Structure 1
């Protein structure tokens, strides 16, 4: 093998140029070819500021990149690549979103529907773009033309005068709103705890719904029983009222007969009260006599009595007094 310094310099140059061209082609191919990705297109009403190189997100996660923004007829066609493991259904939707206040955007995809995306293209009726300021101005131009400038100037003047006259009240009102905002901000944790507690109460009520329904059914039974008892008490009161009226009528109808009877009864009671001492003495005297008679008649069919004369007169006395004995 020849040493390198003996090689043909022209041939070495051609080989070097060929290798350089191959490396350049390989770099270009590597930079333009997306491995593990798939290319899609979406039709937009306008670009909405979307540029090539911005992100493509699926459910808030970056899964691809915008590779081109081209004009087609009166619409804009956005070309983007997406990771091949993301399946876009037949009803997939796309929308342009604002990423930052500096004007960066991203394309948000919403995979919907079954099957695959027809032609790997999202049509115009399933894409959305942010509201265009030009559309707002154009839609409001007609309304502005219809306004009366003099009347509008008078209204603005009146508003300025009103604000100027009430400046002393507006200042404290704005301060009050600011303080209220501070209180709300300072109490945000407490408000969060309150909402969490409310959610826990709601969960507890939801879990106890069956028990609450059962309690309500039992409550219905109690209410029904109370209603029945109330009806019974009502009937009792009605019947008692009727009885009272009947007794009142009886008393009214017998008032003339009862008064003499009550007067006679009062007279009898007064007489008995007057004779109470006599009756008491009679009972005291009758007690021993009754006891002696009971003792005398307790020995058989006779009575043992000891009577001193002349309790019973002799037989001759009886015969003499009647004109002879028989």
Structure 2
């Protein structure tokens, strides 16, 4: 078998090697540029704004606080600024969509807030100037600042600025760490923007649930009001009962105090009467104890049954017809 002979690179034609290397480098550069410009899985849109307001390429594009893309370019077109940005494919921008440049941190970072509104498709993929806004209008700021500057006292302002510069110069060692702390704080806020968006969405869901349960909450509050009102009425009734009971106790106390001199002898007499009755009760009990055997012996002595024949002449015991006449006649 014949074996192919590989020619070393150093032995090849340098012109051809250089030409191939240039072509490969151009292809790689073109691919890098294409990858940086073309967004896979995203949609590209534009928005016309009055001025940049500090917005820069690479900053976030957010929808309701959630990052969904980034700003690709910021270009000047005539008197307006054209912002090119990308949005994830799952988000459709309707024909009434709006855009606004917002400040993200105190150090001047920004983001583009996009609000998908309406149905259909965004015309030409562009949000016009009348549906965009920026944090401030430079012309308005200059005009307002000019009017305010005219109202200021120039000598006094100069003295104030001089004093401020001296204070900053004296505190120069402390200003740097303070600015570093502010920078770290802004970075933390920017890093937690996703969690902040989730928190806002959760708060929105809670607000929706509360709105849906508004009728139930209102009914519950009305029932609670009725319960409180009934408890208040019952409390007033109990208070009146306590007041009346207190008055009755005070009246009984006064009666007992006033009649104590009369009641004490009556109670003593009652005690004596009870003692006498108890003594009579004891005597009667002894009589019954003594009479029981005697009566039993008398009943046994008669011998005619459980009764005793008594012979008593009239009128000690009236005849039966006499009793009927007394009672109005016998039937």
Q: What is the TM-score normalised by the length of structure 1?
A: 0.44
Structure with max Cα Rg: 1
Relative contact order (alpha carbons < 8 A, sep ≥ 6): 1 or 2 greater? 2
Q: What is the TM-score normalised by the length of structure 2?
A: 0.43
